[in-house]
């Protein structure tokens, strides 16, 4: 930062993955946020590693989770359980977006994240991005996922929106 410029903003990307699809999506969003220009520091953390201090120190958020049994992953739920009350009424109005990697529809996980974000009084800045892998058998559900280029671009665009908005002070 040079004299007379606004301080950098921090975008916190919290994700969980078991079959690598959500990691690919989160990394695409990180690329988009970093490409949005100077002024944004991007921190990417696994849900198991992210703490309340990380949430409080960030200016915006990207939550990325697989949908497991019509819900967000247990590790994302654990992240929210560990950080929710420490951040309650302390992060109101900050921007967020959500990425979901799902075998069928992703709507259950999306609703859960939206309810938590509503309780935190976060501001959604992009529609939930759901990537459907069509994994419907035990073998395909447990197999390593490869997210296609078009879906990765959608995730990158979400990251770019968050990054640019933070950098420009839009939110």
Q: May I ask the CATH architecture of the domain 9-168? A: 3-Layer(aba) Sandwich (3.40)
Structure tokens at 76: 């994302």
Q: Report the C-alpha gap between 38 and 54 in whole angstroms.
A: 21
Q: What is the pLDDT of residue 3?
A: 47
Q: State the pLDDT at residue 4.
A: 45
> Tokens at residue 34, please?
């970093």
Return the closest-CA partner of residue 115 out of 91, 98, 94, 132.
98
Interhelix angle 149-168/21-35, rounded to 10 degrees, is 40
Closest by CA position to 91, among listed 12, 37, 24: 12
Residue 5: per-residue pLDDT: 54
Termini Cα distance of the chain = 19
pLDDT of residue 2: 46
Cβ neighbours of 80 (radius 10 Å): 23
Q: What string of pLDDT tens digits covers the 171 residues of the chain?
A: 444 455 699 999 999 999 999 999 999 999 999 998 789 999 999 999 999 999 999 999 999 999 999 999 999 999 999 999 999 999 999 999 999 999 999 999 999 999 999 999 999 999 999 999 999 999 999 999 999 999 999 999 999 999 999 999 999
pLDDT of residue 6: 55
Domain ranges of the chain: 9-168
């Amino acid at each position: 930062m040079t004299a007379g410029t606004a301080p950098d903003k921090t975008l916190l990307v919290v994700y969980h993955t078991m079959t690598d699809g959500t990691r690919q999506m989160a990394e695409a969003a990180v690329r988009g946020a970093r490409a949005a220009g100077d002024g944004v520091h991007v921190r990417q953390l696994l849900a198991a590693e992210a703490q309340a201090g990380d949430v409080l120190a960030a200016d915006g958020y990207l939550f990325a989770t697989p949908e497991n049994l019509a819900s967000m992953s247990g590790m994302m739920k654990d992240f929210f359980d560990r950080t929710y009350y420490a951040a309650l009424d302390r992060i109101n109005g900050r921007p967020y977006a959500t990425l979901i990697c799902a075998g069928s529809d992703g709507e259950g996980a999306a609703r859960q994240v939206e309810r938590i974000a509503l309780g935190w009084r976060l501001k959604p800045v992009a529609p939930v991005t759901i990537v459907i892998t069509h994994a419907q058998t035990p073998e395909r559900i447990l197999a390593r996922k490869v997210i296609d280029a078009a879906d990765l671009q959608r995730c990158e665009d979400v990251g770019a929106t968050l990054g640019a908005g933070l950098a420009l002070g839009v939110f």
